[in-house]
Structure 1
């Protein structure tokens, strides 16, 4: 139990640290950040439940006002902005990525890439597009077109998450909690 709590806190901190990487804010108001890589790694490394809990801890700290989102944003106001759908989707994305890695018996790189693609792109974009549509007053197809700008960067993050998870599995297999 204590080990799990420590891992959850460390990965919440990892998400926050990845927000320090300079962001690029697009015309949609949704920034391109490295934080979604942290969300993906929460799932692939910690597994479904612990990964989702790490993201929920991070979001709780953001809601309490800590400026942990990229660009130093925090507080309840961020949950009313164009990123709201992505924020809501973060813990679910980590859960799905972790679930795929936990249940899959293929090699860890492939399982991580599949999990992060399903959770960190397909599912997260679904939530994000709906949130952008509502907040920006766009139709779903218009919001989807705006979201496509993020796809190349997110595909790079999927590969990075797979490589990082695979390397961790090779170097410190006991640290990979997503695989029994």
Structure 2
């Protein structure tokens, strides 16, 4: 591959990386209120966007898009859920989930490399595994901060049903875009 060809290929990937970060920021603002009985913490489109970007962009570009998103939020742009931003977001209750986004996106890219997005069953499984990484990372951090009881109360119980919906939705969207690999 010539140097010119590599540059031509890198520019569209860099453009998709920026679009991926913006897509995550946009879906992070989609918010479904949760009843106070379930903790009152809203369900957002943030994790769905992370999983889609991770699976739709080739490895490691999906992880790069998530890293850019995290950097923008850390620097103070209101890109996190409900317009959140700043470095304190990483040390608070959502910090583990934010770190889990990056790890999940990298893993999704590796699964894409193995063709998982091209088959509906594997696409659904990839989204399930990515969700498990995000939730697991978030729960570990919450447990460190507040103990396991509070971690489950605030980081799992209000979100498990929404997580299943996002796994199904993300798996189907990614599969529909990747089954004909030339589409993305």
Question: How does the TM-score come out when normalised to structure 2?
Answer: 0.83
Task: Judge conservation of contact 1:129–1:144 (CA < 8 Å) in 2.
Answer: yes
Shift of the 28–134 alpha-carbon distance from structure 1 to 2, 3 Å rule, reads: farther
Q: 2:87 aligns with which of 76, 80, 91?
A: 76
CA drift of 1:23 comes to 4.3
Matching residue of 2:24: 15
Matching residue of 1:126: 136
Point out the structure with max Rg over C-alpha: 2
Aligned equivalents of 2:151, 2:175: Cα separation in 1: 34
Task: Judge conservation of contact 1:88–1:127 (CA < 8 Å) in 2.
Answer: yes
Q: 2:48 aligns with which of 22, 25, 37?
A: 37
CA drift of 1:109 comes to 2.0
Question: How does the TM-score come out when normalised to structure 1?
Answer: 0.85
TM-align CA RMSD: 2.2
Unaligned ranges ≥5, structure 2 = 1-9
Aligned equivalents of 1:29, 1:3: Cα separation in 2: 40
CA drift of 1:133 comes to 1.4
**What are the superposed Cα offsets for residues 100-141 of structure 1, whole Å, 9 maximum, x if unpaired?**
22214684322221111112x211111100111123x213x5
Q: What's the secondary structure of 1:114's corresponding residue?
A: helix
Shift of the 52–167 alpha-carbon distance from structure 1 to 2, 3 Å rule, reads: same
Task: Judge conservation of contact 1:97–1:112 (CA < 8 Å) in 2.
Answer: no
**What are the superposed Cα offsets for residues 34-93 of structure 1, whole Å, 9 maximum, x if unpaired?**
110110001110033111000000000000000011211101121121101000110111
CA drift of 1:145 comes to 5.0
Q: What's the secondary structure of 2:157's corresponding residue?
A: helix
Q: 1:143 aligns with which of 125, 137, 151?
A: 151
CA drift of 1:30 comes to 5.2
Task: Judge conservation of contact 2:118–2:181 (CA < 8 Å) in 1.
Answer: no
